[in-house]
Structure 1
Amino acid sequence: MLVRFAYLAVSQAFAALRLLPIGDREKDVEILALRHQLSVLQRQLGDERPRFRPEDRAFLAALLSGTPRHVLRRIRLLVSPDTVLRWHRDLIRRRHARASARRRPGRPRTVVSVRRLVLRLARENPSWGYRRIHGQLAVLGIRVAPSTFWEILKAEGIDPAPNRSSVTWPSFLRSQAEAILAMDFIETVTLNGQRQFILAAIHHASRRIRILGTTAHPTHAWVTQAVRNLLMDLEDADQLATVRFLIRDRDAKYPAMMNQILQHSGIAPVLTGVQVPRMNAVMERWVRTLRTELLDRTLIWNEAHLGRALRTYERHYNQHRPHRALAGAAPMQALPRPLSPHQIERLDIRRHDRLGGVLHEYRHAA
């Protein structure tokens, strides 16, 4: 409609310019001729009402807006003067409606980042009520009206604290993951037919793997020394104070002295059920990953070769391999800042092979 109205206004403006050089006598003749033709058309129409397009109504309403009513009655129109005035009122009403819609009456909409923070606090703290979350925002220097805050939570279907404070198993396990270690033996065979036993431990929260050693004869003395080395490593990493449980199976390779060493450091051993590997699911899943990505793809010559391969894989897993439970980060390598569009255009990624191409690592070119 707007385009047709503009075309109509421009064409009529040029028609008005054409009238400027015409004298009064010629204009009077043209007016009389147009009135006579209008009378002929009205006789042909009879009782049928003429049809005006929206742009025709808008043009006539704008053209005749300042004309008094008695003058409109003298002008020979296809519609009554009241109809023209009604068109003008409708035109003004629509213009005011568009202006008020652009102004968006009422309070301004809450900033998107603030809305996201409100929802984040509500989801991360099920026991916090509306007033507790509102107070936390005030401590952070964010001023949000209580009514606005409540509307944000209600719009997302987040109930008050008593209706959402129940703890689910996933959230409970995540809250305990910082205090849990898991341990297991992995068995493999070298090319010379020698059976090798790999002892490894994984931290549930960080998913960091520690390969404690490999041997063909896992004696009690060897296992005890491996556990002592694990405790020293945890102390160097400032994790010994947070670890409280170590999950393992009931394998006879674990000596009784091992439990005493763990308990002296404040770690309680937790034994899995008989033939229930799912009780140590995190460790079992890593064992499958180790076999899929290394042991099943590499020919291990002897114990020394196995030790070198395991040390390389441990570095790769902890520093380069993305982990789904960590949102794509590696256990010992946080996610970098997102690249800008300019940096993405100049992207240059290089591949670094490990263990003869069994493992691939990708880095930005220096």
Structure 2
Amino acid sequence: MPLSIVTALVRDLIKVPAAVLRSRVAVDAEVLALRHENAVLRRRIARVRYEPADRIWLAVLSRLVPQERWRHVFAVTPTTLLAWHRQLIARKWTFSQHRRLGRPSAAPTVKQLILRLAKENSTWGHRRIQVELARLGYSIAPSTVWEILHAAGIDPAPQRSGPTWREFLTAQAHGILAAGFLHIDTISLKRLYALVFIEHDTRRVHLAGVTAHPTARWTVQQARNLTMTLGCRTDSLRFLLRDRDNKYTAAFDAVFQADDVEILLSPPRAPKANAICERAVGTLRREVLDRILIYNEAHARVVLTGYIRHYNRHRPRQARRQLSPDSTEPPAPATATDLQAHRIRRRPVLGGLINEYRHAA
């Protein structure tokens, strides 16, 4: 406690015996005068600021005055007096000298690592996470891992949730081929259908064919043509992702199953389950079909073939770090060139509907 506070308390305590030895009438008169003075000061001062010594002194005197008289004697409320008393007790009984018993809590970095392992590995339970932490050099009990996961609202048991379609497709992208139909309305209001395939790994699009009558037999033949075009690349394919259209028959599936390709069916009315193919179909609509009039099947085949050639050879893909699907070069940071010394050449595609830009040789 500061020396100034101790001095003030001693000075005030010396005044107590003198007040006791006075006559009763003098004491009562002095009390009445002090009360009147307090009333005058309360009217003039909006808020009184008490020093620490004043608070201690009033808190000590409050134990000598009945609690029901506090409102008439003291200038502060009983709640304030009780709060001051609690602060005195809290300063005295801090228990800072006692060592905390029990096992020390895990470091925040270890907690973040536990939550990261649980998020990135949905099949790991708290014991599997504890084993992985031990291998990394963090000695922690399985029960502690369980408590950290439970406090974060994560089920400590394995199989918390199955993989999402995004996680599944990302992990299996190198072996997935997706199929989808695209309808085209001609200038004569005749509807055509195009069958397209897309490789998830490279985002390469294949046009199987265009027809006005997409029968099951026609679809099977297009599947055979595609497998012949892919050649030995079908050995790297593991899955064919398609919807439940009745044009995909057992004979269609058998064409791919002959190359050990497993058929995956998307749920009914769930286009997001085949999102990559649906996105490619949407790109074909936005960049070509919504901006050109189609005359017939031959015209549709020429237009789609020209655009898909541009799509595979030139159009950058964000999923491939701005590389085109056919590009095999590793991604490198682009360098800006001086436009005064180097020319940028434009090559129109589909009559100028789309343009490709390259540095002039």
TM-score category, normalised to shorter length: 0.5 to 0.7
1:364 positional shift: 1.3
- Structure 1 339/347 Cα, relative in aligned 2: closer, same or farther at 3 Å? farther
Instruction: Give the equivalent residue in structure 1 for 2:236.
Output: 242
What's the CA shift string for 1:316-350, capped at 9, x where partnerless? 10011111100100000246755667767633111
Q: Specify whether residues 299 and 168 from structure 1 end up closer, same or farther in structure 2 by C-alpha distance, changes over 3 A only.
A: same
Query: Contact between 1:183 and 1:246, CA under 8 Å: does it hold in 2?
Result: yes
Matched-pair identity in %? 41
Counterpart of 1:252 (choices 246, 250, 256) is 246
How is 1:114-193 mapped onto 2 (pairs within 5 angstroms)? 173-193=169-189
Quote the Cα distance in structure 2 between the aligned partners of 1:168 and 1:253: 29
Q: Distance between the aligned counterparts of 2:358 and 2:239, measured in 1? A: 36
In 1, Cα distance between the equivalents of 2:322 and 2:211?
A: 33
TM-score by length of 2: 0.52
Matched AA of 1:245: F
Q: How many angstroms does 1:193 deviate by?
A: 2.0
Deviation at 1:221, TM superposition (A): 2.0
After TM superposition, the structure 1 stretch with the greater mean CA deviation from structure 2, 167-176 or 279-288, is: 167-176
1:249 touches 1:273 (CA, 8 Å); kept in 2?
A: yes
Q: Distance in 2 between matches of 1:363 and 1:341?
A: 13
Counterparts in 2 of 1:341 and 1:221: CA distance versus 1, 3 Å: closer
**CA separation of 1:173/1:253 partners in 2, compared to 1, >3 Å: closer, same or farther?**
closer
Q: Is the 8 A contact 2:197 2:208 kept in 1?
A: yes
* Equivalent in the alignment of 1:221: 217
State the number of aligned residues.
209
Q: Does 1:288 align with 2:282?
A: yes
Q: Is the 8 A contact 1:244 1:266 kept in 2?
A: yes
* Counterpart residue number, 2:303: 309
Q: Deviations over 1:171-200 (max 9, x none)?
A: 653231011110011111111222100000
Could you say what the CA RMSD is over the residues aligned between the two structures, in angstroms? 3.1
The answer to whether the 8 Å contact 2:182/2:281 transfers is yes
Give the TM-score normalised by the residue count of structure 1.
0.52
Tell me which of 262, 278, 303 is aligned to 2:272: 278
Give the counterpart of 1:332 among 308, 326, 333: 326
Paired position in structure 2 for 1:347: 342
Distance 1:240 1:218 in 2: 24
CA pair 307-183 structure 1, distance change in 2 beyond 3 A: same
Q: Where in structure 1 are there 5+ consecutive unaligned residues?
A: 1-124, 134-165
Per-residue deviation, residues 202-227 of structure 1 (Å, max 9, x unmatched)? 01111000010100111222111100
> Which whole-Å deviations, capped at 9, do the CAs of 1:60-84 have from their partners, x for residues lacking one?
xxxxxxxxxxxxxxxxxxxxxxxxx
Equivalent position amino acid for 1:217 in 2:
H
Change (3 A) 1:270 1:347: same
Deviation at 1:356, TM superposition (A): 1.6
* SS of structure 2 residue aligned to 1:174: helix
Residues 201 and 342 (structure 1 numbering): CA distance in 2 closer, same or farther, change over 3 Å?
closer
Distance 1:272 1:342 in 2: 47
